[in-house]
Amino acid sequence: MKRNIIIAALMVVGLAQADITENHQVGGRVESRDAAWNNAVGNGALGLDDKHAQYTFASATDSQLEITVHLEANYAFDWDATIPTELDNTPHVGVNDGVGNAGRIDGDEWVKVTISYVDPNNNLTSLKVNEFGAYWGNNATETTVFTDASANSYDLIGFQHAAPEVLIDYSTTGLDALTKDNTGTWSMTVSADDTLGITTTGLGGFELEYTVVPEPATFGLLGLAGAVIFIKRKLMKI
């Protein structure tokens, strides 16, 4: 009986060492996102100009693992009037070329998204784009185009950003997959297509999913707690 308890306890500790999956969404609907796009900074901050911005967040499992969403545009971004180093809008990213809608993407404007990360403990085991969407571009003929680094494209026509749970599963789009090993070459560019009708749109919700190995202290405590509970229950039955 004691041998079985010890084996079972070790199994509990082993399970506690499994990778942890985390999701982080920036932009999109307020009830769904973890952060708003106005958390992205540039326009003089971090040495970035008005055509570049970035947003960095840390893993909840390993605080030293930091993932950065980089934004680049062909014109100046729409910057906040009060805090000019922050993007102006919370649910979406817009560009301001001085023509058309200053808070959205229209005409020949585009926004490119790239990803980087810092992982000093080598705890990141996988990384992908989970879901994404436009914000605006919601009229029946408005077309938001997402293009990867291989020139594959995916069109969203009349995207209804106001409906709950509307983000697109990235794996269904045919766009190049993001992994932890190709962040140096992966990109996604957002633009407007007026073929069906004049389009004013924006980059909306963007969600990353990644897996992290827990720190030894973390899974050790989890495993120990699980083992203690398991053994206590077993002993009560003896």
CA-nearest of 8, 4, 19, 9 to 224 is 9
CA-nearest of 129, 204, 127, 126 to 172 is 129
CB-neighbour burial class of residue 143 (10 A; exposed 0-12, middle 13-18, buried 19+): buried
Say whether pLDDT at 98 is over 80. yes
Higher pLDDT, 181 or 11: 181
Say whether pLDDT at 115 is over 80. yes
Give residue for tokens 């971090």.
46
- Residue pLDDT, tens place only, 33-65: 999 999 999 999 999 999 999 999 999 999 999
pLDDT interval class at 164 (50, 70, 90): confident
Average pLDDT of the segment spanning 91-115: 96
Instruction: Tell me how far apart the alpha carbons of residues 229 and 208 are, in angstroms, rounded to a whole number.
Output: 34
Q: What is the DSSP string of the chain?
A: -HHHHHHHHHHHHHHHTS-EEEEEEESS-TTT-SB-GGG-EETTGGG--TTEEEEEEE-SS-TT-EEEEEEEESS-B-B-SSSTTBBS-SS-B-B--SSS-TTSB-TT-EEEEEEEEE-TT--EEEEEEEEEEESS--STT-EEEEEETTS-EEEEES--TTSTT--EEGGGS-PPPP-TT-TTT--EEEEEE-SSS---B-EEEEEEEEEEPPPHHHHHHHHHHHHHHHHHHHHHH-
pLDDT interval class at 215 (50, 70, 90): confident
Q: What is the pLDDT of residue 162?
A: 86
Instruction: Tell me how far apart the alpha carbons of residues 226 and 12 are, in angstroms, rounded to a whole number.
Output: 6
Say whether pLDDT at 10 is over 50. no
- Residue pLDDT, tens place only, 119-150: 999 999 999 999 999 999 999 999 999 999 99
Q: What is the pLDDT of residue 231?
A: 45
Task: Give me the residue spans of the domains in the chain.
Answer: 1-17+214-238, 19-213
Q: What is the pTM of this model?
A: 0.85
pLDDT interval class at 11 (50, 70, 90): very low
Instruction: Tell me how far apart the alpha carbons of residues 53 and 71 are, in angstroms, rounded to a whole number.
Output: 5
pLDDT interval class at 17 (50, 70, 90): low
pLDDT interval class at 233 (50, 70, 90): low
Structure tokens at 135: 């914000």
pLDDT interval class at 93 (50, 70, 90): very high
Rounded mean pLDDT of the chain? 89
- Residue pLDDT, tens place only, 177-206: 999 999 999 999 999 999 999 999 999 999
